[in-house]
Structure 1
Amino acid sequence: MPLSAIPSIVWTLTGCIGLIGSNSLALGPIAPAMADALGTSVQTVMIASAAFGLGTAGGALALGQLIDRIGPQRMLAITMLLMVFGFAGAGAAVGPEMLIAAQFGLGIAAGVALPAIYTLAAVSGPPGHESRTLGIVLTGWTLSMVGGVPLSALIADTLGWRAFYFILAGAALLTAGALARRTDTKGAAGGLQTPLSALKVQGVLPLLAICACFMASFYGVYAYLGDHLHVDLGMPVSANGLATILYGIGFSAAVLLDRFIDAHIARPLLLSILMILVTAIFLLMFALSGSFVGLLVLMAVWGLANHLGLNVLIMRLTSLDPQQRGAIMGLNSAVTYLALFAGTISLGEVYASQGFRSVVLCAVGLMLAGVAISLIAARRGAAVKRDAERRQPASSQSL
């Protein structure tokens, strides 16, 4: 698919992901400067990060169904406009309480924006290129990781950390305006009765369970990899940035393989194979935990595998029920951020008491659970398909 064939809204959606990711990922690097300015500790500032995550989960769970009622494009424009006030509030914070409140509000908006973005990505690409379109949108996370995080530190050092949030506010305002000027994507008539009614859609629960295993293992390992490199392997803090860049390169490079996903997305075992691949990477990470070079190489492979796994997972979820895509992706975002919270906290206890290798083994266990769920779901899906094929000839003969 040539770049000229990609609709302009796809690049807008990629930018939206980049803005959301820059906010959530940049807080850590600039937290010391924020703590000094607000007269508090870094730990207190980081409570704002937890507030963002909980707000995202709550917003996705409670408001995700509005995407189907109002339309994903209009809903995304509204949430990006709300983010303008959230970013401005964070930049103008005079105390940690105001910062935490602003990040919680940003989380609620992001909880609706993310499923709206994925819903739009699923329907915006040319027919037959849905996975590649989604893959481009997913690279917004790489933009925020590789570009947004270093840029936040640079802006904080030169213009001050408040300027970073005001720049994000300006970018969000421009994005909201661009979305508002486009022809709107209408919502589904009637909408949903409750935020959780999408759980009744066949196939949603196993995919959400796989998402929980996938995300808890990722965030649990990623959160403590940097400290392992610094404390256990004696590497400078800058090595963490190199590991992040290599992960981002692998994540972006996977776009070149998304055409393979488009060609094989209907294969029931595709998701299971990708989950097994991620499990194998964790096993290699366990074996090479004492090798800095080995871990750096694995970071790039890990990024590539995670991109493909996330792509297939989202594609499967958005295809279950076109009338409830927004609500289903809202559930996906809620599970993702709850898994982030649970994985980081629980595996943090494991890291503190038993070290990084034990964290990786826990991630292997989580991924094996995800593999088992995906295999069972694929088997059930195949059985349902066979039953439908057996009934079809009988129905045709009766006509």
Structure 2
Amino acid sequence: MPALLRLLAVAVFAQGTSEFVLAGLLPGIATDLGVPLARAGLLTSGFALGMVLGAPVMAAAARRLAPRWALSGFLAVFIAAHVLGAGTGSFALLLTSRVVAAAANAGFLAVTLSTVTRVVPAGRRTRALAVVLGGTTLALVAGVPAGALVGDLLGWRATLGAIALLCLPPLVAVLVAAPARPAADAGTGAAGTIGRELASLRARPVRLDLALTALVNGATFGSFTYLAAVAAGPAGLTGGALPALLAVFGVGALLGVTLAGRIGDRHGRRLITVTGPALVAGWALLTWAADAPVALWVLTPVQGALSFALGSTLVARVVATADAPTMGGSFATAALNVGAVVGPVGAGPALDAVGAGGPFAVSAALVLAAVGLWGVVTVRARRASRAARADRQPGGPAGDRR
């Protein structure tokens, strides 16, 4: 793997940490800035909204730029937003900085996903994407706990400053090693106009993969968002067991992304076919065993591995099948974040209405819908393939015409 990809993964790690760590910093922010905790919670909603809207808008704005300048520009804005946020005493300005940082994050990830297809051979793209997306899983394992620890010891401003510093080495790497020609000039696909790229994203296989990505990620973050609340409530976990459980989920996620990277290029369809039903079964089991600590400890890493193996494979399919070298990554990013917004929105009321198993039940339903969509499309594809083979046989319709 090129060294550039690993440094891009460092940037994704820092950005993922920024996205997830704020939940643990909200009490300190609310106290420091003199706002209610519920209002401070708008910082996480603002970041999610910036990610969803920012991915296609930023990618479209940067599509005529070389990846070197697009990536470095997005990273520079992301760093500046964190420096501004760390130094402000205004909640409104902090919220604005979070939305701007999220939009830059979304643009950076979208261009990164598209750039991967240019710097590695076609047969290694899933593995390369796994390296980059591994930054997100490492953020769950190490970045969020470390950021929370820094926040506890030095304050939330220090956490934002550390995230900005972590992005400096990737910024240098991008300026030195990222492609210096725009994708539209690189001879890849139908990059002539944005209309042609958007038309390719409306193709049925691409729309399917985008829908599956949103459903699976919605299930993942619907349960992950409330995992600590469930564990601390009915399951009775306390103290250091709660961050440890979240870290175990992250370890499983990292293993899942690694597995998908190893086999996704050759066995992507089979991986989707196997992991989808297994993921449904795991969420269903947790629905009925959410109050059992043993079940949480056993199934949490398994679900993390299955979720991210399936999710990263679907992202790779979007980038590979869409004839959209500058916009494909943006819509994959948007689909991921639509899921990250919708999943918790559905899981929260389920927790209140059903109890500890509610979020897991919502996750099971979302993945079940994804499995159903995949199954219908697979069956139709097999029928079409059999019909085509029969048509080519002697005595078939094509043979009769000959």
Normalization by structure 1: what TM-score? 0.89
Report the 3-state secondary structure (helix = DSSP H, G, I; strand = E; otherwise coil) of the residue aligned with 2:123: coil
Look up the match of 1:23.
18
Which range is displaced more, 291-300 or 152-161? 152-161
The within-5 A match list for 1:90-129 is 90-126=85-121, 128-129=123-124
Whichever residue aligns with residue 174 of structure 1, its letter is: P
Who is 2:293 aligned against?
292
1:142-192 deviation digits (Å, cap 9, x = unpaired)? 221122112212222333221221222233233223201224253215341
**2:237 matches 1:241:** no
**CA contact 2:11–2:166 (8 Å) conserved in 1:** no
Summarize the Cα distance change of 1:93–1:382 in structure 2 as closer, same or farther, 3 Å threshold. farther
Aligned to 1:173: 168
Q: Is the 8 A contact 1:64 1:195 kept in 2?
A: no
From the superposition, tell whether residues 361 and 161 of structure 1 become closer, same or farther in structure 2 (CA, over 3 Å): closer
The match for 1:314 is: 315
**Which residue matches 2:141?**
146
Amino acid at match of 1:278: L
The amino acid of 2:144's aligned partner reads: V
Q: Number of paired residues?
A: 388
Unaligned residue ranges in structure 1 (runs of 5+): 1-5
Task: Give the direction of change, closer, same or farther, for the CA distance of 1:392–1:56 in structure 2 (3 Å limit).
Answer: farther
The residue that corresponds to 2:232 in the other structure is 230
Q: Distance in 2 between matches of 1:262 and 1:199?
A: 21
Q: Is the CA contact (8 Å cut-off) linking 2:10 and 2:167 kept in structure 1?
A: no
Name the residue aligned to 1:3. none
Q: CA deviation at 1:225?
A: 1.6
Q: What's the counterpart of residue 337 of structure 1?
A: 337
CA distance in 1, matches of 2:246, 2:81: 27
Question: Distance in 2 between the 1:204 and 1:195 partners?
Answer: 12
Q: Counterparts of 1:1-399 in structure 2 under 5 Å?
A: 6-66=1-61, 68-126=63-121, 128-182=123-177, 183-188=179-184, 189-193=191-195, 196-254=198-256, 255-256=258-259, 258-265=261-268, 267=269, 269-321=270-322, 323-382=323-382
Aligned residue identity for 1:333: T
Q: Which residue in the other structure is 2:187 paired with?
A: none
CA distance in 2 between partners of 1:303 and 1:80 (Å): 28
TM normalised by structure 2 equals 0.88
1:376 is aligned with what amino acid?
V
Letter in 2 for 1:244: L
Residue 96 and residue 194 in structure 1: after superposition, are their counterparts in 2 closer, same or farther (change >3 A)? farther
In 2, are the aligned partners of 1:65 and 1:195 still within 8 Å (CA)?
Answer: no
Deviation at 1:256, TM superposition (A): 4.6
Say if 1:68 and 1:324, in contact at 8 Å, map to a contact too: no
CA RMSD, Structure 1 to Structure 2 (Å): 2.6
Q: 1:24 to 1:337 in 2, by over 3 A?
A: same
SS at match of 1:70: coil
Per the TM alignment, residue 80 of structure 1 is displaced from its structure 2 partner at its CA by 0.7
How many angstroms apart in 1 are the aligned matches of 2:8 and 2:385? 35
The answer to whether the 8 Å contact 2:260/2:312 transfers is: no
